[in-house]
Amino acid sequence: MAVALAAPLLLAFSQLRLLPQDQGVLLVVAGTPMDLAGRLQSGWQAVVRDCSAVQHLHAGSAGWMQAQQALAAHSPPASRGARPLQLLLHAKTDGDWLLAEVLWDGVGALPTGAPLDPAIVPLRRGSAGLQVLTEGVWSGDTGPWAAPAFIRRWLQRQVPGLPADLALCLDPQWPAFAR
């Protein structure tokens, strides 16, 4: 009787294992790695974060246009088709820090024209205007890691001066960055 009751539990546990990696530990469920800790972290951050100092700039606003120009000038000719999906501004730093989620259209990316991959791009205002902080540009797949948590941690590690709440308040929209 006890074996019959324990069998479903044993079967379930036989499908689970922990897989240590450089970025943390993955939970492997029936052969599929999952970032359970990253998913829990993203959920918790969404509940407790304070985004009062973060503003979402609207398409067509002066700040949006300045950021779009800085993004387009970053890596021409491919970057000329910069199209922000969202643009966050940190108000407590007088707008000196921005975080953009960007798609790159082929328009203006001539002559060869393959657009760049979607990216999360930190920008900082300096004496020469808004500048892309190249060391903090994220573009690519996060693999099995929960993308929002992974990207936020990566941004904070790569750009130590980036206001923490700016990174924490980023809710990516591009499907590969939002999973």
Q: How confident is the model at residue 9 (pLDDT cuts 50, 70, 90)?
A: low
In a domain, 163, yes or no: yes
Residues 96 and 154 in one domain: yes
- Tell whether 6 and 69 lie within a shared domain: no
Q: Is residue 46 part of a domain?
A: no
Count: domains in the chain: 2
Residue 58 has pLDDT above 80, yes or no: yes
Residue 110 pLDDT grade (very low, low, confident, very high; cuts 50, 70, 90): very low
Residue 41 covered by a domain? no
168: amino acid identity, one letter: L
The answer on 150 and 73 residing in a single domain is yes
Average pLDDT for 112-128: 82
Q: Quick one: 19 and 99 in the same domain?
A: no
What mean pLDDT value characterizes the chain?
86
In a domain, 18, yes or no: yes
Instruction: Supply 55's token pair.
Output: 């503003």
- Is residue 24 domain-shared with residue 57, that is, in the same domain? no
Give the range among 73-77, 118-122, 130-134 with minimum mean pLDDT: 73-77
User: Do 66 and 140 share a domain, yes or no?
Assistant: yes
Question: Are residues 146 and 73 located together in one domain of the fold?
Answer: yes
Per-residue pLDDT of 135-179, as tens digits, reads 999 998 888 988 999 999 999 999 999 999 999 999 999 988 887
| Same-domain check for residues 76 and 109 | yes
Q: What is the pLDDT confidence band of residue 111, given thresholds at 50, 70 and 90? A: very low
Q: Are residues 105 and 143 in the same domain?
A: yes
Neighbours of 110 (CB within 10 A): 11
Kindly compute the dihedral angle of the four CA atoms of residues 23, 28, 32, 35, in this order, to the nearest 10 degrees.
-40
Domain of residue 93 covers: 53-178
Instruction: Check residue 68 and give its pLDDT.
Output: 93
Segment 83-89 mean pLDDT: 94
Lowest average pLDDT, out of 3-7, 48-52, 65-69, goes to 3-7
Query: Between these two residues, 121 and 15, which has the higher pLDDT value?
Result: 121
- Tell whether 164 is covered by a domain: yes
